Amino acid sequence: MQKINAAITAVNGYVPDYILTNRELETMVDTNDEWITTRTGIRERRILRGEGVATSDLAVPAVQGLLQKRGIGAEEIDLIIFCTSTPDMPIPATANILAHKIGAKNAWGYDLQAACSGFVYGLTTGAQFIESGKHQKVLVVGGDRMSSIVNYEDRATCILFGDGCGAVLLEPNTEGYGVIDSVLKSDGAGCQNLFMKAGGSLKPATHATVDAKEHYAYQEGQAVFKAAVTNMADVAVEVIDRNNLKSEDIAWLVPHQANKRIIDATASRAGVPPEKVMVNIDRFGNTTNGTIPLCLWEWESKLKKGDNLILAAFGGGFTWGAMYLKWAY
Ligand code: UT7
């Protein structure tokens, strides 16, 4: 029997219109454009403004555009894996809400929470359903409305994050294209360096937790930076080495976009020159689960069938991972 790979056959993305610039942040907290640009590489990020809107509203246009590109209807989707750290609400899963909004009547789905590594976890998980022969069309969505959990009085975090969503469709491929390999890791010892202190079962939200602003994302930036810079590069190198790839074999490095300095360090360790590294952090900031699929969306026209792509991510948890894909179209 021929081996079935899970190949990405369509990609699309969506970012909201509102642009929050470094200059505007200067009017909100004690920061400046020069500090943000040199320490993070971020110039601006997109924000989904308004009441009654949520992460699923970022996903709807991303997925509808994807279905249109691929020329299929929503009812053909078998499974939706929604990778997010900012679900519309704790119950039910945002995957269900999205399925309803787009009319994916025949799909089942679930949310996957692995902080900034969510998309590589989700892509690896989704690939299993294709490789096993169980499903024909799996939608992997990575999106976050980070502005809903960011404290815009905390200069250490509010300058980093943005809102956005990307989505890919996985389908079977028997020509050797698609997901080839992945290395996924986690270490819960890193929990206290990037987390939300309240709002979960450990510390349910109360007036006191809200007054203490514990319903926002909290980060020990330096500790996360140190862990990210080593681990993201380690897994990228591991997946490159165990597939006997040389740097010239790699068409693109697609890194999670948390800090330009982490991206540069990973590219340098992986031996990938800057012109082969996808970077959107300057315009979108850290969109958490959205970073990697948004890169694929923006670079889609430059990708060629057979291109070797290395994806790499690091996030809260800690979670991290890297993947090797052969682009299928
Ligand atoms: O995607 C999930 C994983 N997340 C990450 O990978 C993020 C990893 N961490 C980082 O990217 C960096 O640690 C940050 C960008 C968050 C911070 O950069 P840093 O170079 O580690 O700065 P720092 O935290 O060591 O702070 C240096 C100084 C401090 O002032 P003092 O103590 O030296 O006087 C901070 O108070 O910079 C100050 N600072 C700021 N100054 C202006 C912190 N935030 C700001 C700010 N504007 N926004």
CA-nearest residue, atom 2 of ligand 1: 315
Residue nearest to atom 23 of ligand 1 (CA): 222
Predicted local distance difference test score (pLDDT) of residue 67: 98
**Is the pLDDT score of 70 beyond 90?**
yes
Phi, psi of 311, rounded to the nearest 5 degrees: -100, 140
pLDDT, position 272: 98
Global pTM value: 0.98
Report the atom number in ligand 1 closest to the C-alpha of 228.
6
Structure confidence at residue 2 as a pLDDT band (50, 70, 90): confident
Length of the chain measured in residues: 329
> Has residue 1 got a pLDDT over 90?
no
Q: Are 32 and 2 in contact (CB under 8 A)?
A: no
Does the Cβ of 315 fall within 6 Å of ligand 1? yes
Decide: 221 in ligand 1 pocket, CB within 6 A: yes
Helices (H), 30-92: 33-40, 55-70
Topology (CATH) of 5-176: Peroxisomal Thiolase; Chain A, domain 1 (3.40.47)
Q: Contact 64/99 with Cβ under 8 angstroms?
A: no
Average of per-residue pLDDT across 43-53: 98
Average pLDDT, the chain: 98
| pLDDT > 70: percent of the chain | 100
From the CA of 158, give the closest atom in ligand 1.
48
pLDDT above 80 for 319: yes
Q: Is the CB of 261 under 6 A from ligand 1?
A: no
Provide the annotated active-site residues.
116, 256, 286
Reported as a pLDDT band with limits 50, 70 and 90, residue 316 is very high
Across the range 188-212, mean pLDDT stands at: 97
The average pLDDT across 276-280 equals 98
- Give 181 Cα–ligand 1 centroid separation in angstroms: 34
Same fold, 5-176 and 180-326: yes
**Does domain 180-326 fall into CATH 3.90.850.10?**
no
**Average pLDDT rounded to a whole number, residues 1-22:** 96
Q: What is the separation of C-alpha 314 from the centre of its chain, rounded to a whole number of angstroms?
A: 10
Q: Residues 121-131: what's their mean pLDDT? A: 98
Distance 26 CA to ligand 1 centre (A): 15
327 has a pLDDT exceeding 80: yes
When pLDDT is averaged across residues 195-213 and rounded to a whole number, the result is 97
Which element (helix H / strand E) includes 266? helix 260-270
Residue ranges per structural domain of the chain: 5-176, 180-326
Between strands 217-219 and 79-83, the pairing is unpaired
Kindly report the number of other CB atoms within 10 A of residue 103's CB atom: 14
